[in-house]
Chain A
Amino acid sequence: MKRPQILTRAMAVTVATLCAASASADPDEDSLTINGEIEIMTEAAAPAHLDDVDTIYSGWRFRSDETQSMQMDDFDNPAMIFVEAAAEAWDQVEGTEGKSCGTCHDDVDNMRGVRAVYPKWSETAGEVRTLEHQINDCRENQMGADSWNYTGGDMAAMVGLISSVSRGLPVNVAIDGPAQSTWEMGKELYYTRTGQLELSCANCHEDSYGLMIRADHLSQGQINGFPTYRLKNTKLNSVHGRFKGCVRDTRAETYKPGSTEFIALELYVASRGNGLSVEGPSVRN
């Protein structure tokens, strides 16, 4: 109600700080090529379903030069140690059926394109599935092996391996047809202001990206770079692990990794990145 008046009152100061803050206000202009050959689209026109954003950016564009450079060569990317371990696990026979991932899928390069379209509607399961769910489905029902912890190290590494062979391909998750109701649910969650701080994903990652919140330079909260190796905890972090952290920071009760809510949120957030390159495993702070 009082907005117009407030705007004029605060205007003079706001203009002054905009100038002072502009150094950090935007994503930077750097471009990313990995190993001198894989070109990554870190910027793209926003997909048609996004009303309030024109351009989408990878989180890479909001990180410092030092953090960015760690992702330019696999030898410098600490996430690759985990990917190498997963490459061994790929051919590791486990479970009652005497099979490994490689038994059915042959070379992991056959997985090229997979990361880009997940989460995805599964006809057999009759629900939208994340890559983690699909991996556990293979382990349990094809291999007769134990499922992995949803956000555990083995799982994050395997998702990292499967992502790595899709790097450079555009994210392209389907949001229509049978996936639509899940997508709608995710969208609802994205705009819901949770917890005692009453903040939604959109408050920070749509309304405020490019700005500093205390020591953090806010990105658009895209997930094209997942799993991410974070300098902060020196391990691979899964999408749902990250979501959980962000919801917790609003002083809210979080959802569980692998839950219906987080699957829906993942599909929706992934769809906000349709057009960016698959970049995982990436490096973030």
Chain B
Amino acid sequence: MKSATGLAIAAMIAATAAWSDVIKPDEVVFVDGAVEASLSGVSGDPVVGAELMNKGSGNCIACHQVSALSHLPFHGEIGPPLDGVADRWSQAELRGIVANAKIMFEDSMMPSFYRVDGFIRLGDAYTGKAHSDGEVQPLLTAQQVEDVVAYLNTLKEE
């Protein structure tokens, strides 16, 4: 009993801490395209990251091939393959690329996954309708960016 309550409280504190440590999209600090600090204040989960590579607003393999995900069908060819990407880029650089690739790569075709302004004719997701006046959600949440970065960090060849 006692320890269960203790755990619940510990979890609550962790959750609160995590929430308050979230860096908002317009507060992210880029240095040469890289982002040093975790966006969520918590480390990412590579297993969740792997799922985001395939689904939802991540859907990274729409444009990138990843050999480690070869069990999933249809990898795109728009961007470079991500095999060994962690040998080429540091964690901070990977975080910067996922958050807003257009800072590292000028005019990149890669969408900015953690940005909320500067869009032309922003729609309401895939409905084709205009976005309401409400708050714009980034394509990935702070934690999702961390999860994806944690997954990218596993892609080592050397």
Contact = CB atoms under 8 A, between A and B. Distances in A.
A248 B126 contact: yes
B105 A254 contact: no
Interface stretch (B18-26, B56-64, B144-152): B56-64
Interface residues of A, number: 38
Contacts of B135: none
Given A2-B105, A10-B88, A248 B81 contact: no
Contact of A21 (B61, B77, B131): B77
Contacts, number: 104
A203 B129 CA distance: 22
Interface centre among B61, B75, B81, B119 (most CB of A within 10 A): B119
A213 B63 contact: yes
Nearest to A10: B80
Interface majority SS (helix, strand, loop, mixed), chain B: loop
Interface stretch (A154-162, A191-199, A226-234): A191-199
Max chain B CB contacts within 10 Å: which of A16, A207, A251?
Answer: A251
Given A212-B77, A215-B74, A248-B127, A3 B119 contact: no
Contacts of B124: 253
13 contacts: A16-B81, A17-B81, A25-B77, A196-B136, A199-B109, A211-B78, A212-B75, A213-B62, A215-B73, A249-B126, A250-B123, A251-B125, A253-B123
Interface of A: 1-3, 6, 9-10, 13-14, 16-17, 21, 24-25, 192-199, 203, 207-208, 211-215, 244, 247-254
